[in-house]
Copies of this chain bind each other. A is one copy, B any other.
Amino acid sequence: MKRIVVIGAGRSSSSLLRYLLNESEAEGWEVLVADRDEALARSKINGHQRGDATGFDAGNSEKRRELIAGADLVISMLPASMHIDVAGDAIHFGVPLITPSYISKEMRSLDEAAKAKGVLLLNEMGVDPGIDHMSAMKIIHDIQKKGGELIRFESFTGGLIAPESDNNPWHYKFTWNPRNVIMAGMGGTAQYIQQNRLKYIPIHKIFERYKDIDVEGYGTFEGYANRDSLSYRKTYGLENVPTIYRGTLRGKGFCEAWNVFVQLGITTEDFEVDCRKMSWRDFINAFLMYDPELPVEEKLQNFLNLSEEVMEMLRWTGIFENTPVGLEHATPAKVLQHLLEDKWKLEPDDKDMIVMWHRFDYLKDGQEHEVHSSMVAIGETQTYTAMSETVGLPVGIAAKMILNGQLSLSGVHLPILPEIYHPILEELESYSIRFTETTIR
């Protein structure tokens, strides 16, 4: 019997645990789930005879060592910054580790030690990062294998609301961490390369410079630039590809309306507003010029030259209402989050949707070719969401491959190698996570 230890039983672990328990009999596994909240961990096991739960505080290094020493494989579903201690123990006890998170500097620095011990630390195994790498690298390698020269790579992913649950003018609800949505684009200047020219978009222009993306069968989305597209040149081995652009997808109309919040200055965390006596209307007015003659709506519309459509989206959020903000001192971003958490709340039957879209242009035999590849996943329930499925399944499949001895790698890795991505993409198809390729020319 092989023991898999899963650390962290939060909502992104649901589909992973379902997969591991479903496979456990056939594969001869037992699955131990460790979480600060033992009852939560136990509820995710749901009485399965191959599963067990234990309480575990991530700061308890003795318990952590005990858990890892007794494991054949460890999966860390903790917040990204907390993987590093797990990775250190995994190397020490010679136990392979999987995480769904970006490789941090600290994680990368463990590469040599992991190789010396013959231990695999497999990261970026979720959806973004994860399935994005796998699905893109598969096509890039195919193009290279048949002698094509990649000249353009674009890649967009969005965590959205499913069409059947889409009943607001923003075509958006919080299906994931609201704070990340509010702070989107605020991390710094976006960097990409177009026709060999480095291109930079400052924070306050990111939502103005979005582009339309057509996804077959799902209509048009808007893609805004992620902070760093340039680092993918090295990760994917595309140093000489003249155009590389990565971004995030939103529904049609979202970017122009969200840009209003950015332009107003209410997506920042750089100071606190005293909103004890403020209505929503006062809050918005505080970011507009003083002019007692003009109503707030008119000031805002003039300030940013807004269409009636955008005004309608803004009105829908309630920012022009005379109701109290209901917070005391908070950063503008927290005030905005407070407003939208109410408006963009999921209803009990709502389903989420993950949309991923890639574009590859390449030269072959003097001809220019263009291929699009897209994947849309829709959640089953609010436990087995599209996010949980697309994060958890690749992690689970990778676990199976490692325990079956299918991956003879050591050191720090991410899924850009054919031996990793081929079997995973194949098995994902049986869970309806599949890419559709369209040849444009």
Residues of A bordering B, CB below 8 Å:
188-189, 191, 194-195, 197-205, 209, 263-265, 268, 270-271, 273-274, 282, 285-287, 289-290, 292, 332
Contact = CB atoms under 8 A, between A and B. Distances in A.
A268 B191 contact: no
Contact of A264 (B188, B197, B202, B271): B202
Given A189-B270, A191-B271, A199 B290 contact: yes
Given A189-B270, A268-B189, A271-B189, A290 B202 contact: no
A139 B336 CA distance: 41
A198 B270 contact: no
A156 B200 CA distance: 34
Given A263-B205, A265-B202, A188 B270 contact: yes
B286 A198 contact: yes
**Which 9 A/B pairs are nearest by Cβ-Cβ distance?**
A202-B265, A188-B270, A204-B204, A194-B290, A198-B286, A200-B287, A189-B271, A200-B286, A189-B270
Given A202-B268, A205-B265, A268-B202, A286 B189 contact: no
Contacts of A270: 188-189
A189 B287 CA distance: 10
A282 B197 CA distance: 9
30 contacts: A188-B270, A189-B265, A189-B270, A189-B271, A189-B332, A191-B271, A195-B290, A197-B282, A197-B285, A197-B286, A197-B290, A198-B273, A198-B286, A199-B286, A199-B290, A200-B273, A200-B286, A200-B287, A201-B265, A201-B287, A202-B263, A202-B265, A202-B268, A202-B287, A203-B204, A203-B265, A203-B268, A204-B263, A205-B263, A205-B265
B289 A209 contact: yes
Contacts of A191: 271
A202 B205 CA distance: 13
Nearest to A290: B194
A385 to B, nearest CB: 33
Contacts of A195: 290, 292
A88 B333 CA distance: 39
A200 B290 contact: no
Nearest to A198: B286
A129 to B, nearest CB: 20
Given A195-B292, A204-B263, 14 more contacts: A189-B271, A189-B332, A194-B290, A195-B290, A197-B285, A198-B286, A199-B289, A200-B271, A200-B273, A200-B332, A202-B204, A202-B263, A202-B287, A205-B265
A336 to B, nearest CB: 13
A281 to B, nearest CB: 12
Nearest to A206: B265
A58 B368 CA distance: 65
Q: Which of A189, A201, A263, A273 has the most CB of B within 10 A?
A: A189
A249 to B, nearest CB: 20
